[in-house]
Chains A and B, each alone.
Chain A
Amino acid sequence: ATTVNLSYNGAPDPQKNAVHVFAQTLKELVEEKTQGELKITLYPNSMLGDEEARMEQTMAAANLNIASFSGISPLAPEIFVSAIPFMFSGFEPARHFFDGGEYWKALSEAFRERTGVEMLAVVEEGGFLAFTNSKKAIRTPDDFKGLRFRAMDPSQVALYESFGATGTPIPWTEVYMALRTGVADGQMNPPMYIILGSLYEVQKYLTLANIQYSDQFLVGNAAFLDSLSEPVRAAFHEAVREANQKARTENERDVESRIQYLADKGMEVIHLTDEERAAFRTKAQPSYMNWLHAQGIDRKWIDMALKDAGLEPVKE
């Protein structure tokens, strides 16, 4: 029997960490379906290192890893295309985009070629990103004017600036304090993280704008996967599919109850209509595209992705 390590972010707590639910299910299914031929050791809490360290480990030796955006993007900045804001109306189109789209297939191939790491599954981690803030009920892009938002990476800064707001980098551990004291007025995250960080205590308005699909990526060392015997490899891939299916079902169910939880905690939940979301999209996408160009990302990736998402190419 072979044993392989699977490392990921976050605590091994099924209540709080959707990624852990996936990892745990995957471990059980793989061991069951391969009849113990392939065993998985779980390393939660980023125990084996930060995103870059773990990706290096996956490139170098037989490892599995669940990477977030910051694990993939240093090697394949094209992945930022999949985070074009307001691209998906809900879970179904997003899943279709990754499971059956041309863009994701091409990206996975390019990634494997560049790094020797195989893209195995897109794992949902807590729904869609939503805006929260303490100042006003945001329904239109204009509502953003003059607000100050916490940004995680340069693409988020570009997004906020397109609405006339500003973005400033604040580490996650300081976000609560920064929001409470007004260093930042708002931030964006999936409901899961808003609950984890108790941000509902310091944020009044929650705008469900489906900004971005919140996902992480199961990757594995390609040479190792190729070295598995045919039946074991087939069983492994089947286990990945099944585990992901299960995790997605649970995730979608949990998102509803999390939003309800936030409402119960006194947040004003704002649902947007399709027209309202379109207004955000028209405003945000051109500047996000400019940012993508500034990153030197080829136009073909953007066209492919927009086609997969069933959107018109955005004019610049």
Chain B
Amino acid sequence: MLIAIILTFLIHVFLGLPLFLALLSSAVVGFFFIDPAMIPRMMPQQFYGGINAFSLMAIPLFILAGNLMNAAGMTDQLMRLARLLVGHLRGGIGHVNVLSSVFFAGVNGSAVADTSALGPLLVPAMRKEGYDKAFAAGLTAASSLVGPIIPPSIFMILYASLTNVSVGSLFLAGVIPGFVIAAAFMAMNGWYAWRHQLPRNGRAPTLKELSAAVVQAVPALVAPVIIVLGIVMGLVTPTESGGLIALYVVICGVLQRRLRLRDVWASLTETVRLTSAIFLIMAASATISWQLSYAQVPAQLTTLFTPFLDSPLLILLLLSLIIFTVGMFMEEVSALMLLTPILVPVALAAGIDPVQLGVIVTLNITIALITPPMGACLHVAAAVSKLEITALFRSIWPFVLVALGVLGLLIVFPPLTLWLPGLFA
């Protein structure tokens, strides 16, 4: 059954069918192995159930908030601040790329949004400073990985809704790993700049310039603070914080006269399109997840892993390997939807902390966004930098290795993820 489902899915993806329809086709095939009489009830029920959860409502709201921030010019303000802070260093523009992603990550929950918002501005700027195009595109794609790790995060919301882990704890647990990844990519960029002896530009900012830029960027910087404080202190649920941010950005944008009604409407319709695309995949995956549960695949897998349950480290490495491999060939939301219910019980049986596991799984799936051949961020980065995709496939591997290194750190040192949530609990 599993093989038939996977084959149907792969064939239809290959034939260019939208993923949610490919998933639905394979769900139909799956039911022919279980009991075709179940189709009329179980397909609609699980399709509907897959998107009928309150925690998922945060996703459209965070997408909306991100769209509104772009429309209101807040993204530009954040980039200007980043430029002032690190632009004068050797390889400054590369550092700006990473730091902008960190700032942007504080409101934005998706890596693809990061690449497509910042890439068109930063790749040409990096070219001008003497960067190789393939490296520039690679750094842009790779640095956007912090988007789903630093809160808020669409992947984490999905993971939490599937596993009943607190979204607040997961968000907190992502903060330090997010900065570690950013630091790792900055180090890579620094090394590249030093090796190619890229010139330094400008000088360190004066206190006056710095404070001016900070003041200007305050409205944009306050947004992530609202999210993190609100969720961490339990004042609002993640869903509500998404709504509040959207409201906040609209108010700021209107007060600063950067946001017109037409922009708000355009942000709304854009959000509708992306939400529909993401949620339909989730809904269709849910029908297949149900079949796997029904066939007791997770339980069988746990039995398969039983000999290794004594070694959480080994289990985590195995899980990471599976997610990494599947992620190379599968779209990330559906991979997360399908793998989480199967793999998480195994890891929990090995005594791994659910929150640490959540961050590891999230980062693992996020890395899939920059692995060839299916990584969505790669495709966006190649498109916005007008680069042959195969060139990017070659230049991305060092970044993937660095990201995997950070993943290894998270596996080996639980405090990296668990210390911050523990502080608040």
Whether A and B touch directly in their complex, counting CB atoms under 8 A apart, is answered as yes
Q: Which of A46-54, A119-127, A250-258, A292-300 contacts B (4 or more CB under 8 A)?
A: A46-54
Q: Which residues of A contact B293 (CB under 8 A)?
A: 43, 47-48
- In the docked arrangement, what's the CA distance between A177 and B241, Å? 15
Whether, in the assembled complex, B237 has its beta carbon less than 8 Å from a beta carbon of chain A, the answer is: yes
**B393 part of interface (Cβ distance < 8 Å):** no
Residues of B within 8 A of A174 (CB): 166-168, 234, 237
Which B residues lie within 8 Å of A47 (CB)? 293-294, 298
A181 at the A/B interface (Cβ < 8 Å)? yes
A-B contact count (CB 8 A): 56
Interface membership of B45, Cβ < 8 A: yes
Q: Is B49 interfacial (CB-CB < 8 Å)?
A: yes
Residues of A within 8 A of B169 (CB): 177
Contacts A49-B290, A183-B235 hold; do A173 and B46 have CB atoms under 8 A apart?
A: no
Residues of B whose CB lies within 8 Å of any CB of A are 38, 41-42, 45-46, 49, 54-55, 160, 164-169, 232-235, 237, 290, 293-294, 296, 298, 425
Contact A57 B168 (CB under 8 A): no
Contacts of A181 in B (CB 8 A): 233-235
CB-based contact A48/B294 at 8 Å: yes
Given contacts A60-B41, A172-B164, 8 further A-B contacts (CB under 8 A): A41-B296, A50-B49, A57-B42, A171-B237, A173-B160, A174-B234, A177-B169, A177-B234
A177 to B233, CA, bound (A): 7
When the two chains form the complex, which single residue of B46, B49, B55 contacts A171, counting CB atoms closer than 8 Å? Answer: B55
> Which B residues are in CB contact (< 8 Å) with A37?
none
The interface residues of chain A lying within 8 Å CB-to-CB of B296 are: 41
Knowing A43-B293, A173-B164, A173-B165, say if A49 contacts B237 (CB, 8 Å): no
The answer to whether A177 touches B166 (Cβ under 8 A) is yes
**Cα A180 to Cα B168 with chains together (Å):** 13
Q: Kindly state the separation between the CA atoms of A49 and B49 in the bound complex, as whole angstroms.
A: 8
**Cβ contact within 8 Å between A57 and B233:** no
Separation of A49 and B41 alpha carbons in the complex (Å): 12
Q: Which residues of B contact A49 (CB under 8 A)?
A: 45-46, 49, 290
Which of A56, A170, A173, A178 is close to B41, meaning CB atoms less than 8 Å apart? A56
A-B contact pairs, 24 of them (CB 8 A): A43-B293, A48-B290, A48-B294, A50-B49, A53-B45, A56-B41, A57-B41, A57-B45, A170-B237, A171-B55, A173-B55, A173-B166, A173-B167, A174-B167, A174-B234, A174-B237, A177-B166, A177-B168, A177-B169, A180-B425, A181-B233, A181-B234, A183-B234, A201-B425
How near does chain A come to B104, taking the closest CB pair, in angstroms?
A: 26
With an 8 Å Cβ cutoff, the count of chain A residues facing the other chain is 24
CB-defined contacts of B49 to chain A, threshold 8 Å: 49-50, 53
A205 at the interface (CB under 8 A from B): no
A171→B57 CA distance, assembly (Å): 13
A97, CB-defined interface residue at 8 Å: no
The CA of A47 and the CA of B291, in the complex, are separated in Å by: 10
Q: How far is the CA of A222 from the CA of B298 in the complex (A)?
A: 30
Residues of the A chain whose Cβ atoms lie less than 8 Å from the Cβ of B232: 177
B42: chain A residues at CB < 8 Å are 57
Contact A176 B166 (CB under 8 A): yes
Nearest residue (CB) in B for A173 is: B166
- A178, B168: Cα distance in complex, Å: 10
Q: Is chain A's interface secondary structure helix, strand, loop, or mixed overall?
A: helix
Residue on B with the closest CB to A180? Answer: B234
Within the assembled complex, what's the spacing in Å between the Cα atoms of A38 and B46? 28
**Residues of the A chain whose Cβ atoms lie less than 8 Å from the Cβ of B54:** 171
A24 to B168, CA, bound (A): 34
CB distance from B74 to the nearest CB of A (A): 28
- Residue among A41, A61, A177 having the largest count of chain B Cβ atoms under 10 Å: A177
Q: Give the CA-CA distance A182 to B233 in the complex, in Å.
A: 9
Question: Which residue of chain B lies nearest to A169 when distances are taken between CB atoms in the complex?
Answer: B54
In the bound complex, how far is the Cα of B235 from the Cα of A183, in angstroms? 6
Q: Which A residues touch B294, using CB under 8 A?
A: 47-48
The residue from A43, A50, A178 contacting B234, defined by CB atoms under 8 A apart: A178
- Residues in B whose Cβ lies below 8 Å from that of A178: 234
Q: How far is the CB of B55 from chain A (nearest CB, A)?
A: 7
Q: For A172, what are the chain B residues with a Cβ–Cβ distance below 8 Å? A: 164
Closest to B54 in A: A171
Q: 1/0 per position for A170-210, CB-CB distance to B under 8 A?
A: 11111011101111000000000000000001000000000
CA distance A61 to B41 in the complex (A): 10
Chain A, range 1-54, C-beta contacts under 8 Å to B: 41, 43, 47-50, 53
- Tell me the bound Cα distance from A170 to B167 in angstroms: 13
Closest to A41 in B: B296
Within the complex, what minimum Cβ distance (angstroms) separates B306 from chain A? 15
Taking the closest CB of chain A, its distance from the CB of B165, in whole angstroms, is: 7
Q: In the bound complex, how far is the Cα of B237 from the Cα of A122, in angstroms?
A: 34
* Bound: A174/B296 CA distance, A: 29
In angstroms, Cα B166 to Cα A174, docked, is 6
Question: How many Å from the CB of A53 to the closest CB on chain B?
Answer: 5
Q: Which of A41, A49, A57, A176 has the most CB of B within 10 A?
A: A49
CB contacts (< 8 Å) of A56 on chain B: these are 41, 45
Nearest Cβ distance between residue A95 and chain B, in whole angstroms? 31
Interface centre among A53, A172, A176, by most chain B C-beta atoms within 10 angstroms, is A53
Cα of A272 to Cα of B81 in the assembled complex, Å? 61
Which B-chain residue is minimally distant from A171 (CB atoms)? B54
CB within 8 Å of B: which A42-89 residues = 43, 47-50, 53, 56-57, 60-61
Bound Cα distance A171, B165 (Å)? 11
Chain B residues near A50 (CB-CB < 8 A): 49
Tell me if A53 and B46 are in contact (CB < 8 A): yes
Taking the closest CB of chain B, its distance from the CB of A163, in whole angstroms, is 23
Q: Which residues of A contact B237 (CB under 8 A)?
A: 170-171, 174
Task: Report B243 CB to chain A, min CB distance, Å.
Answer: 15
Q: How far is the CB of A259 from chain B (nearest CB, A)?
A: 24
Interface residues of A in 199-238 (CB under 8 A from B): 201
